[in-house]
Amino acid sequence: MHLIDTHFHLDLYPKPEALVLEIEALKIYTIAVTNTPSVFDFTYQVTKNLKYVRAAIGLHPELALQRKSELPLFKEHLGKTRFVGEIGLDYGNLNDLEKRQQRNIFESILDSCATSKDKILTVHSRGTASDVISTIGNNFPGKIILHWFSGSIRELEQAVEFGFYFSINSAMASSVKGKRLILNIPSDKLLTETDGPFIEVERKPALPSDVVLTLEKLATMRDISIDSQRSIIFNNFKSLLE
Ligand SMILES: [Zn+2]
């Protein structure tokens, strides 16, 4: 049964061309997210002939305002891939006007994705869960993965009601709050991710093979065997692709 990493920043590693071949050889299904449309093409080129690794086109919320001129490029590349990310909302220290501009960019991205109906989006929602969930809404024509979700239980319940998936990484599965959230996610909506290199394992940037650690933590938390957890995540990934 294959491992699954639905949120991995391949292009931020020193030797992505070599690394991607290792991931492919390990047969780990990996969604290689990108943070701006101008860097998508690199990841697309190094993954386009592979079976297990796919490039996602993204515009990270923390870069959205300064790179909004790349929105047309986002739309141009969108037809090349079914996968979209990293996108989302993150207000940081923005003022109200800037927050609204960031939401407009996110809405524009969602609109473009909605037209093709089969896109799979990996979405960042730090500090913005309720805005992210309400902006996407209940009837989005595509699949939504909330990556490293850190909202409230109430927000989580809303996202569950809307049918969203949740990708869990080792940091989330180790924190008290993260564990409480995880136990409220239906088993058929759980996925695994690394968010490498933003998450480290033993002081090294996480690699897709490190999702094993998250599987172990999930299995312990949910009191099932690692093999069962692994097959649940694999089946969830298959239904994500349907
Ligand atoms: Zn990320």
124 is in an annotated binding site: yes
Distance CA 54, CA 59 (A): 16
Quote the ligand 1 centre to 163 CA distance (angstroms). 21
**Which CATH number is 234's domain given?**
3.20.20.140
Structure confidence at residue 173 (pLDDT): 97
**Which residues are close to ligand 1, an ion, with C-beta < 5 A?**
86, 195
CB 124 within 8 A of CB 193: no
Residue type, 154: R
Quote the ligand 1 centre to 87 CA distance (angstroms). 9
Structure confidence at residue 1 (pLDDT): 79
Quote the ligand 1 centre to 86 CA distance (angstroms). 6
9 is in an annotated binding site: yes
54: three-class secondary structure by DSSP: strand
23: three-class secondary structure by DSSP: helix
- Give 217's Cβ-side CA count (13 Å radius): 23
77 is in an annotated binding site: no
86 is in an annotated binding site: yes
Domain count along the chain:
1
Quote the ligand 1 centre to 166 CA distance (angstroms). 13
CB 113 within 8 A of CB 85: no
10-residue mean pLDDT series, the chain (242 residues): 96 97 98 98 98 98 97 97 98 97 98 96 98 97 98 98 98 97 98 97 95 97 97 98 95
Quote the ligand 1 centre to 11 CA distance (angstroms). 11
Quote the ligand 1 centre to 157 CA distance (angstroms). 23
Quote the ligand 1 centre to 62 CA distance (angstroms). 11
Quote the ligand 1 centre to 124 CA distance (angstroms). 7
202 is in an annotated binding site: no
Quote the ligand 1 centre to 195 CA distance (angstroms). 5
107 is in an annotated binding site: no
Quote the ligand 1 centre to 148 CA distance (angstroms). 9
Quote the ligand 1 centre to 9 CA distance (angstroms). 7
Residue type, 14: P
**Structural domain span for residue 236:** 4-241
Query: What angle, 0 to 180 degrees and rounded to 10, lies between the N-to-C axes of helices 129-136 and 96-116?
Result: 40
